[in-house]
Amino acid sequence: MNLKFVVFALVILLTSMTLGCGGSSGPTAGPIDDDYRTGLDSDPDPQPCDQESAWADGTDFPGKNWATYMEYTIGNNSIYTLYAGQDIDVGTVTVASIFGLVFVTYQTTDGWFLKETHLHIADSLDGIPQTNKGNPKVGHFRDKMTHDPVVQAYMSHYAMMPEWDYGDTLFIAAHAAVVFGNDCN
């Protein structure tokens, strides 16, 4: 089978899964700065051009922050809610793996857009860049993207390391800077 066709089919599958499904819930947002000591105000009724920091739902990092990481089993398709300002559901993050690649798709909804995305995948929690206090350092994440203009969907992929195998657990930190509306500078 043609690899380009398989990758294209996977993109279509992940997009359709993301548009119709939600993930688990929990507080997961955090500020954009590297030490995560302060947070942005959470506003359940956003106004045009409101900006928030967002994290895919998961387990809290050890530091005192709102940041979270996901534990993903290679070979599964998993969907996580993307939360902004700790508790605003702004979309999903979908993770899937096939043919030695791990795909991560951010998809926003309800008028929210991606301004920046930061992603890091490792085979241990210690493999995700963190401060000495256990707060994630998004500026040091492997995949950093500024979206100008803003977008509602973004897909990234990682080549699996030779030591990773189906059934193994990966630790994934998926952060985004989101904005309400697409006509903001």
Tens digit of pLDDT for each residue in 145-157? 999 999 999 999 9
Q: How far apart are CA 72 and CA 140, in angstroms?
A: 21
Is the CB of residue 115 less than 8 Å from the CB of residue 177?
yes
**Number of domains the chain is built from:** 1
Residue at 185 is within a domain: no
Residue at 84 is within a domain: yes
Residue at 39 is within a domain: no
Residue at 137 is within a domain: yes
Q: Average pLDDT of 65-85? A: 96
Predicted model pTM: 0.78
Mean pLDDT of the chain: 82
The answer for residues whose C-beta is within 8 angstroms of residue 64's C-beta and 6 or more apart is 36, 37, 133, 135
Instruction: Show the domain range for 29.
Output: 3-33+46-180
Residue 108 corresponds to which amino acid?
A: T
Tens digit of pLDDT for each residue in 87-145? 999 999 999 999 899 999 999 999 999 999 999 999 999 999 999 999 999 999 999 99
The answer for residues whose C-beta is within 8 angstroms of residue 114's C-beta and 6 or more apart is 106, 108, 147, 150, 151, 152, 153, 154, 176, 177, 178
3-class DSSP assignment, residue 127: helix
Residue at 27 is within a domain: yes
Residue at 15 is within a domain: yes
